Structure 1
Amino acid sequence: MRIFTVDSFTDRPFKGNPAGVCLLESSRSDEWMQSLARELRHSETAFVDPREQGHPYGLRWFTPATEVDLCGHATMAAAHVLYSTGAAAGAIEFSTRSGILTTKMLDNGFISMDFPAYPPSEVPVPEGLEQALGATPVWVGKGVLDLLVELESEQAVRDLTPDIPALTGIDARAVCVTARATSKDLDYVSRFFAPKVGVPEDPVTGSAHCMLSPYWSTKLGEDTLVAAQLSERGGEIHTTYAPPRTLLSGPATTVWSGDLHI
């Protein structure tokens, strides 16, 4: 079987968010897929099942610790592999735990992904959150998967040094911290911490923008926005809020590919 490492939400290698992609040629157990994800040690590894012609590709995502319900950058990586190897063209449909997800190759070389929108609802500040983040929230909300925390400024997001083990006590898959951007050509920024699923800080998190896109589009009054994730690797995400969906797009690049010997 062929395996790949793809950097998503970037056109340069060693930036954006790396994902493993495994093109399945035969059925494999959940334990086998989890073991391979642990071996590759990316925040997510995508497993693509070609299925029968005319039917959606099967797509599953595993962190080194567990299977997850939705992953943006590994979906982009899977689509990039299918496009770049000539295995698929035009719109690609993936059958996933979050329903059918569709990708398209845009004229500018970006891959667009049609994802669900998860507008967050305001919630009380969870006990221990301020201490774990080392920052005072301006606003706290909860989406379907994650907790959203707005801080006072882009610099506050950039300078954040949270207590990662303490964040595992928060009742959410992950904690996403965000603020309005002050950097040129950006609308908002974010960082994403998911130690509960084995990812202390994710470099660029597509699925977080299912929540961030409706939040900031509603707040700023603009359907289409440009965001940056302020991790060490960094990356940009272009979003369009089209309720009940959100479109996420960006470039991707293959770093390496090879053959699996097991």
Structure 2
Amino acid sequence: MAGKGRVEYAVVDAFTESPFGGNPAAVVLWLGGADADAWMQSVAKEFNLSETAFVSPEDAPSSSGEPGRRFRLRWFTPVAEIEVASENMLQNLQPQLNVLKNFPGRGIIVTAAASPSSDVDFISRFFCPRLGIDEDPVTGSAHCALAPYWSKKLGKHDFTAYQASPRGGKLILQLKEDLGRVLIQGEAISIMAGSIRV
């Protein structure tokens, strides 16, 4: 792919209100077609962030039938593509990462109810050393599993969650059971932009 041009990217800190907090992710606008798996994996390895997202426009109409563009989104860790899945004790958890590498599945979610004085409903941490990420700073996909879990426990559908990694980040969640979806919101700050030579 060398010598074909440049691809624009940004590094965004998601689920935070301040730079260098939350979950850093590279976002690459990919216009070059679908046959670039090896290149995408190489770019993700080069960024060496817990996630690198490749966004490419599609020609299909939106699922609601309304005008507007649809986009395909693919996520990569430095080593693989990801398919889109007490409070004090949790925050101080020191897992044996070499042991976690032997667990089946993508990663391990650990969660607990927040203390009554907290401004969040629950906290969590996410470990996935099998994918080259010892601990993900803030994991939107993990909260797609956590929202239904905490809905049953707390009897509600709207949550504020905190992922208690060293960087930390806050997520606003809304469980839409009738649609089988979890809506995720949070603050984000773009801290870098550039282009990649292809």
* TM-score, L = length of structure 1: 0.66
Bigger RCO (CA 8 Å, 6+ sep) = 2
Do structure 1's residue 11 and structure 2's residue 17 form an aligned pair? yes
1:193 to 2:127 alignment: yes
Is 1:249 the counterpart of 2:185 in the alignment?
Answer: yes
Give the paired residue count. Answer: 181
* Displacement after TM superposition at 1:261 (Å): 2.0
Q: Match of 1:38, as an amino acid?
A: K
CA distance in 1, matches of 2:133, 2:113: 24
1:230 alignment partner, one of 140, 148, 164: 164
CA distance in 1, matches of 2:78, 2:190: 20
Deviation at 1:233, TM superposition (A): 0.5
- Report the counterpart of residue 48 of structure 1 in structure 2: 55
Q: Could you tell me how far apart the structure 1 residues matched to 2:105 and 2:197 are?
A: 37
- Which residue identity is paired with 2:95? P
Picking from 6, 23, 47, the partner of 2:29 is 23
Q: Deviations over 1:7-42 (max 9, x none)?
A: 111121100100011111323521101000000011
Superposition TM-score, scaled by structure 2 size: 0.87
| Paired amino acid for 2:21 | K
Question: Partner of 1:178 in structure 2?
Answer: 111
Output the CA distance in 1 between the equivalents of 2:141 and 2:32: 28
Structure 2 counterpart of 1:154, one-letter code: E
Report sequence identity in percent: 45
Q: How far does residue 251 in structure 1 lie from its aligned partner after superposition?
A: 1.2
> Would the alpha carbon gap of residues 174 and 53 (structure 1) be closer, same or farther in structure 2, given more than 3 Å must change?
closer
After superposing the two structures, state which structure 1 stretch, 20-29 or 197-206, moved more.
Answer: 20-29
Q: Deviations over 1:32-70 (max 9, x none)?
A: 010000000111111111233745212111110001111
| SS of equivalent to 2:197 | coil
Matches within 5 A, 1:1-262: 1-27=7-33, 29-52=36-59, 54=61, 55-70=69-84, 145=85, 153-182=86-115, 183-243=117-177, 244-262=180-198
Distance in 1 between the 2:197 and 2:188 partners?
26
Residue aligned with 1:260, SS: strand
- Please give the alpha-carbon distance, in whole angstroms, between the structure 2 residues aligned to 1:203 and 1:236: 11
Gaps of 5+ in 2: 1-6, 62-68
* Counterpart for residue 65 of structure 2: none
Determine the C-alpha separation between the residues in 2 that align with 1:43 and 1:212. 20
**One-letter identity of the residue aligned with 1:2:** E
CA distance in 1, matches of 2:111, 2:60: 41
| Cα distance in structure 2, aligned partners of 1:59 and 1:211 | 19
Q: Determine the C-alpha separation between the residues in 2 that align with 1:229 and 1:53.
A: 35
Unpaired runs of at least 5, structure 1: 71-144, 146-152
CA RMSD after TM alignment: 1.4
